[in-house]
């Protein structure tokens, strides 16, 4: 679901990040508020005032989403579900769980607390707005506070839609899971409904575009596309997690991988290894001791005229937690590492010695066969 992430801060033990897509949406929100919504409802203010209102409102929405996701994370932690952190992405945020809820009850509590937190935030802002009206606060101040109360109420209502992976869809999954005692079936049904809601929003968006309401129509289309994609992705993630659950890296690793010696030149590495085996990463081994890894990305940084007298030892990077796993690590850990780093191979190390290499394609072949047999 995510691309490049930027770490913002750490709070209550949770890392808060933003996906680069969210920055684009935040700018669009500030722009649409500053040039559309606020000028429509609050006349005869300066352009600078409208932009200040738009930016402050966008920041307020940002903080509201963080509180919403923190509520999910705190409940998850209470019930022993490991959390990677909170990431704000293109249309909101997500509390990144390393595992699924252990029961329908936990799922219900985790899902329900999100909309409740948004309703509480909406009530607080509405109370502040009422106070401001009574005291006589400036119109721009009350306008921003009123918007934040309204948008949080809308977020609560939208999240209550029974469309997985929205909170309402998770409540639905909890109910179906409790009914059939089958989480996978419940997830599939909830995800199908979520995908259907996405298609409905896309259709409504195009209908608005045809009515010449282009901006609103495009928002509906984009939200619908996101919801449809997120529903399918969430189901695939569950299938992957369930299929690889309990499997060790040892099962998938090649215990006799192709290795490169430190004295190998870059020229030899390309001709005798990359072009022959078609791998983008090779372990560098000196005797039985692993020195590090060398990748085609590092090779591209060396001018071609230097390939013949540059050795692999000059390029090899030391093994790090981002490039290595242990034979008895969970396969999901290896898959998560590959997703996060964008690599397709990891070095398997045991007692500072090379135990093997695990490749994404081998894990995916196993996953495909297991899912096919389960079906």
Are 102 and 148 contained in the same domain? yes
Residue at a domain's end among 226, 244, 262: 244
Same structural domain, 160 and 173: yes
Q: Tell me the pLDDT of the chain (375 aa) as tens digits.
A: 445 667 777 777 777 777 776 777 788 888 888 988 899 888 888 999 999 999 999 889 888 888 888 888 888 888 887 777 677 765 566 666 666 777 889 889 988 898 999 999 999 999 999 999 889 888 899 999 999 999 999 989 988 888 888 888 889 999 998 998 888 888 888 888 988 988 998 998 888 888 877 777 887 888 888 888 888 887 777 777 777 777 888 888 888 888 889 889 989 999 999 899 888 888 888 877 888 888 888 888 888 888 888 888 888 888 777 788 888 888 888 887 887 777 788 888 887 788 888 888 888 888 777 766 665
Looking at the fold, whether 33 and 131 belong to one and the same domain comes out as: yes
Tokens of 323: 């490039």
Residues 29 and 155 in one domain: yes
Element (H, E) at 299: helix 296-300
CB 97: neighbour CB atoms within 10 A? 15
Sheet of 345-350, strands arranged across:
281-286, 289-295, 353-359, 345-350, 324-325
Question: What torsion, rounded to 10 degrees, do the Cα atoms 22, 241, 231, 30 define?
Answer: -10
**Interior CA angle at 102 toward 71 and 365, to 5°?**
110
8 Å CB contact between 112 and 167: yes
Q: Please give the pLDDT value at position 123.
A: 95
Alpha-carbon distance of 235 to 168, in angstroms, equals 16
Name which of 248, 265, 277 is nearest 355 in CA terms.
248
Helix (H) / strand (E) containing 164? none
Please indicate, yes or no, whether residues 271 and 226 belong to a single structural domain of this protein. Answer: no
Report phi then psi at 319, rounded to 5: -65, 135
Q: How far apart are CA 107 and CA 92, in angstroms?
A: 20
Distance between CA 372 and CA 375 in Å, rounded? Answer: 5
Our CA angle for 225, 228, 230, nearest 5°, is 105
Do 216 and 263 belong together in one domain?
A: no
How far, in Å, CA of 349 to CA of 107, rounded?
37
- Residues 38, 150, single domain; the answer is yes
Same-domain check for residues 227 and 280: no
> 43 and 70 share a domain?
yes
Residue at a domain's end among 244, 260, 279: 244
Question: Which of 244, 263, 285 lies at the terminal end of a domain, its last residue?
Answer: 244
Shared domain check, 322 and 253? yes
Give the domain extent around 337. Answer: 249-374
pLDDT in tens, 166-198: 888 889 999 998 998 888 888 888 888 988 988
Distance CA 312, CA 302 (A): 11
Counting the structural domains of the chain, the total is 2
Same domain? For 216 and 295 the reply is: no
Looking up residue 303, the CATH number of its domain turns out to be: 3.10.580.10
One domain for residues 64 and 176:
yes
50/279 Cα distance (integer angstroms): 55
> Tens digit of pLDDT for each residue in 223-277?
888 888 888 887 777 777 777 777 888 888 888 888 889 889 989 999 999 899 8
């Amino acid at each position: 679901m995510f691309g490049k992430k930027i770490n913002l801060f750490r709070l209550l033990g949770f890392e808060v990040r933003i996906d680069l897509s969210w920055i684009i949406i935040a700018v669009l929100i500030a722009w649409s508020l500053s040039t559309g919504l606020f000028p429509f409802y609050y006349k005869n203010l300066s352009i600078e005032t409208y932009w200040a209102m738009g930016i402050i409102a966008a920041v307020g929405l940002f903080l509201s989403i963080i509180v919403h996701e923190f509520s999910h994370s705190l409940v998850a932690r209470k019930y022993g579900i490991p959390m990677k952190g909170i990431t704000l992405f293109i249309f909101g945020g997500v509390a990144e769980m390393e595992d699924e809820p252990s029961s329908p009850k936990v799922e219900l509590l985790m899902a329900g607390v999100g909309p409740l937190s948004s309703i509480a935030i909406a009530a607080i802002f509405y109370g502040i707005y009422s106070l401001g009206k009574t005291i006589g606060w400036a119109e721009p101040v009350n306008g921003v506070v009123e918007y934040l109360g309204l948008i949080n109420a809308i977020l609560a209502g939208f999240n209550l839609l029974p469309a997985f992976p929205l909170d309402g869809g998770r409540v639905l999954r909890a109910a179906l899971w409790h009914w059939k005692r089958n989480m996978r079936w419940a997830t599939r049904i909830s995800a199908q409904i979520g995908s259907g809601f996405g298609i409905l929003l896309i259709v409504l968006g195009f209908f608005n575009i045809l009515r010449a309401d282009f901006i609103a129509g495009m928002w509906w289309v984009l939200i619908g596309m996101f919801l449809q994609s997120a529903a399918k992705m969430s189901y695939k993630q569950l299938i992957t997690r369930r299929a690889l659950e309990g499997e060790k890296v040892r099962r998938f690793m090649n215990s006799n991988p192709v290795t490169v010696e430190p004295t190998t030149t870059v020229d030899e590495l390309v001709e005798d290894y990359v072009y022959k085996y078609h791998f983008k990463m090779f372990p560098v081994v000196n005797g039985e001791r692993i020195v590090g890894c060398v990748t085609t990305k590092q090779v591209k940084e060396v001018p071609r005229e230097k390939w013949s007298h540059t050795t692999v030892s000059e390029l090899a990077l030391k093994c790090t937690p981002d490039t290595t796993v242990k034979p008895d690590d969970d396969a999901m850990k290896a898959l998560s590492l590959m997703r996060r780093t964008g690599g397709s191979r990891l070095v398997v190390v045991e007692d500072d010695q090379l135990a093997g290499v695990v490749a994404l394609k081998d894990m995916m072949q196993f996953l495909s066969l297991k899912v096919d047999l389960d079906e």
